[in-house]
Chains A and B, each alone.
Chain A
Amino acid sequence: MAAFFNKFRRPRRLNTPVQKPVNSSGGQNSQRQSGPGHTSQSRTLSSDIEDNLRSLKEIFNQCNDIIFREFLFAQREHIKLALIYIDGLTDKSQVSDQIMRTLSLEVPTATDKAAITKENAWHYIKMRGLCVHQLQESQKLEDVINAILSGDSILLVDGHATALIVGSRGWAARSIEESKTETVVRGPRESFVETLRTNTSMLRRKIKNPNLKIEALQLGEVTKTDIAVIYIKGIASDGLVQEVKNRLSKIKIDAVLESGYIEELIRDHPFSVFPTLSHTDRPDRVAANLLEGRVAIMVDGTPMVLVAPYLFIEAIQTPEDYYEQSFFMSGVRMLRIISMVIALTLPSLYIAIVSFHHEMLPTPLLLSIAAQREAVPFPVFVEALLMELAFEIIREAGIRLPRDVGQAVSIVAALIIGQAAVQAGLVAGATIIVVALTAMASFTVYYSGSFTFRLLRFPLMFLAASFGLFGIVGGVIAMVVHMASLRSFGVPYLAPLGPVITEDLKDSAVRAPWWAMRKRPHLIGQNNPQREAPGMQPRPPQPKNK
């Protein structure tokens, strides 16, 4: 039995010992062990360029896109240079203009020319010969390979064992577009893209402060994905940052293709349906979270950024709440809370009332619903379940549909559900309304947050069919008790409602105006609680005489 249990514990993919994360800017770490994909021990380069070229060619055997460009420095016959890069990952014009042209064509003045020898060629190139924006050096083969694969170009100088890593990244990437899953009416429209550097730049534009720390690491044995841990030093608590880094360092997996991989590997309660980490592709949201003291985890290759910790109350908060006027948005928030409740419980309530608590309906409504039910062969529960399943199918299909077929299929779906089912006497009209309203209500929460409610609807429907309203109550209580026992990185999940933190309630069901939001959320921002000076309420000067 212990063995059975242990199967769920250790990941079964790797049997390599621990690897410390590598700083991709050149790396001071030693003791790199080998893993799949690497056939050589950690090696340093040799001074002979032919040697290096040979080993590199061997490593990159059968990689069609790697280019080995050998040329001479400043037309000197005896100073050989080699430029190695991957076609497609580099900015070709930069390679040819900045590197090759400066090195081969732009010849130093006569006096300099005489001074350059094979011995000081490397030094000269490094300090004076290149006009590139980023230049690093390394002696280790590992770093060279990493740099090539990241899009940098490697410049090897004959006679010198240190390679120059020239920044030349540039590849075809998606341009910055509007977020497809989290839209707002008022507020910035840009969303993250798949390139890590572009994403960090978007964050930097929002927070122009050197305390915005971006720490880099690599996860994934095979994929070597770049990860960035981002926080604002002085606002985020050191314990939280340390905890995040600890958990990340424990990850040993072959690939990290999306932030979801990381999320599942570091979350607090792996078996709970409630997420304890949020993810978003909006930079303004990440920036606001960072300013409250949270930590962001960015993964290269996906626009979705993880933010820790995550509390339940954030499901009803959208960025737009903070941009539009607080009175209106408080109303909208309460509407969102009602929608959440509807999305979770409306089908169950319908089943419970129609099956158990008939006295709750006013008599005319009861008779009307009874008339509809006369025509339908199924009990309410089966009917509601079928319709909910049908809607989930439609929803899933809607995501997977090719764009062109979308129109026609949606018409057919509407017809099937709306007209035919009712007229064929399979479903009652009231059930259709209930299902449709539930579906609409579940869309008021951003897509990824709605999974929990969509899933929990079904057990609640079972409970409602067995025990009526009391089954629903029991289910809701069990849910709340479960949520109250969760902690996200040490913060109770239901704060500020669970342990009631009165000063945080101003941003829960309502959104207090900005002049009232003087403190950061209590449990997350306790390092630096004050975010606004007191007395910010606007007090326009009153005219002396009217």
Chain B
Amino acid sequence: MMKKTICLLVIISLVFPLGGCWSRKELSDLAIVLAAGLDSTPEGNILLTVELARPSALGGSQGGQQIGGGGQQNNVWVISQEGETVMDATRYLEGKVSRHIYWGHTVILVLGEQLAKEGIRKAINFFSRAPHSRETIWVIVARGQARDILNSHSLLENTSAQAAGRMIGAGVGVPVMLKDLSMMLANKGVNPVLPRMELTPSGTPQGPVMYENIPEAQNAQQPSTKIHAEITLTGTAVFDDERLVGWLDYHQTRGLLWLKDKITVGEITVPSPSEPDKKISIDITRGSTRVEPFYDGQNIWFDVQMNLDGALLEQQSTEELTDEPIFTAIENSTARAIEANARSVIELAKYDYGVDVFGFGQAFHRKYKEAWPALKDEWNEAFISADINLKVEAHIRRTGLTTNRLSK
């Protein structure tokens, strides 16, 4: 008995080193992908661009070397590869990258404009199905090629991917995770929207020479132009099911957020009631929206109620805010500004693009579940002919640290 047990233990303990611990991957065997970009090529293939982290430049242990000069630039390595599908491109990429490509820490997924116009379903399935990647990746659309967007670096964060991820997560644009995108694509009551990002000039780098990567600078013959370009959120992409049909700019994105009940941060600028050429800015503390659908068998109309709690934080004019009519007037003009913005976005969605991106269809489905199956396949047409009544209530609760201006 004793002998048998010992033999068994010896055999078992030999099994472990034999197999070589199949799934073990050292950290130094991994190429950590921070951001992925997908573009479509003229031949119909997919161009995959990955932003790989270079840990030796990032961590800064005692063993790492100090890189003088353009230290920021060496944090990541951006590389592209074409393939028939995303996985196909990954296989070819493995010939270029010395380590195993690891998707577990990907922060953002950038879809190129051309690819978005052709349809995004074919591109995103890999990221939902593969066990390593997360469903919480932020998905964005690039204006132009995704590859160019990734080829940038951030002055504030370690890598541009992290910068973009944090910005979207803060709610400045429409925050869309991969799981949200899947849900929006699956649901007939709403069409997807994705934030739009592009490289814009963003300040002048201080300090030693940095090699910039704005397209103009790359072609120029002189050395660095001393202008820094960073990924910037500039608007929203509007989709009809899976195809890109249009853009909303930064201002219109606010309206979109209002209608989707996703407003978290922001501000509204209105002209002052008594001095119309001076402006007053109100910070949005809390905003909420309620959508109520109505259907009488023939016509559909929606009542949208938007509520704003704001704080008046900047006043260019000098009027007395403690004066009640003035204060009410400011509140009213704020409400009107929001309404006008929302109205313009709705018009845009209805008549220019012809899609319901706000989720009115979902609201309709929730209330009228019997009528929904008949309408759901032509919901966009139904949406275009529906009336939408907007009602905004704006309350300015606070005025910051001072009531009236300290100086006159």
Contact = CB atoms under 8 A, between A and B. Distances in A.
Chains A and B directly touch (beta carbon < 8 Å): yes
B24 A468 contact: yes
10 contacts: A8-B2, A355-B24, A358-B27, A363-B107, A366-B27, A373-B27, A374-B56, A375-B63, A376-B63, A423-B62
A389 B185 CA distance: 55
B23 to A, nearest CB: 6
Interface in B3-32: 3, 13, 16, 19, 21, 23-28, 30, 32
Given A4-B3, A8-B2, A363-B105, A371 B25 contact: no
B398 interface: no
A367 B2 contact: no
Interface string A373-388: 1111001110000000
Interface string A347-385: 000000011101100011011111111111001110000
Contacts of A299: none
B306 interface: no
Contacts of A8: 2
Interface in A426-472: 428-429, 462-463, 465-468
Contact of B55 (A355, A367, A381, A467): A367
A428 B63 CA distance: 9
A423 B61 CA distance: 9
A356 B105 CA distance: 14
Contacts of B158: 364, 367
Contacts of A379: 24, 26
Given A358-B104, A374-B64, A425-B63, A367 B24 contact: no
Nearest to A355: B24
B211 interface: no
B1 interface: yes
B134 interface: yes
A3 B13 CA distance: 27
A372 B1 CA distance: 48
Interface in A447-500: 462-463, 465-468
B61 A366 contact: no
B134 A363 contact: no
Interface in A390-446: 422-423, 425, 428-429
The list of the 3 closest CB pairs from A to B, nearest first, reads A371-B59, A375-B63, A370-B55
Contacts of B58: 367-368, 370-371
A429 B60 CA distance: 12
Contacts of A114: none
Contact of A371 (B23, B64, B107, B162): B64
Given A8-B2, A466-B16, 18 more contacts: A1-B3, A5-B1, A355-B21, A356-B25, A358-B30, A363-B34, A367-B53, A368-B59, A369-B27, A369-B59, A370-B27, A371-B60, A373-B27, A374-B28, A375-B56, A379-B24, A429-B61, A467-B21
A367 B157 CA distance: 13
Contacts of B134: 359
A285 B34 CA distance: 58
Contacts of A363: 34, 105, 107, 162
Interface residues of B, number: 35
A370 B59 contact: yes
B132 A354 contact: no
A465 B162 CA distance: 31
Nearest to B104: A359
Given A1-B3, A363-B162, A355 B32 contact: no
B102 interface: yes
Given A1-B3, A366-B105, A367-B32, A359 B53 contact: no
B56 A465 contact: no
Q: Which of B28, B30, B60 has the most CB of A within 10 A?
A: B28
Contacts, number: 106
Contacts of A370: 27-28, 30, 32, 53, 55, 58-59
Contacts of A422: 62
Q: Which of B1, B61, B62 has the most CB of A within 10 A?
A: B61
Contacts of B27: 354-355, 358, 366, 369-370, 373, 380
B179 to A, nearest CB: 16
A374 B61 CA distance: 9
Nearest to B64: A371
A371 B158 CA distance: 13
Contacts of B102: 358
B205 to A, nearest CB: 23
Nearest to B55: A370
Interface string B118-149: 00000000000000101000000000000000
B105 A375 contact: no
B55 A374 contact: yes
Interface string B152-163: 000000100010
A241 B23 CA distance: 54
Nearest to B57: A371
A355 B105 CA distance: 15
A30 B102 CA distance: 81
A451 to B, nearest CB: 20
Given A367-B55, A367-B58, A368-B58, A356 B28 contact: no
B104 A371 contact: no
Q: Which of B21, B64, B102 has the most CB of A within 10 A?
A: B21
Contact of A355 (B3, B16, B25): B25
B377 to A, nearest CB: 39
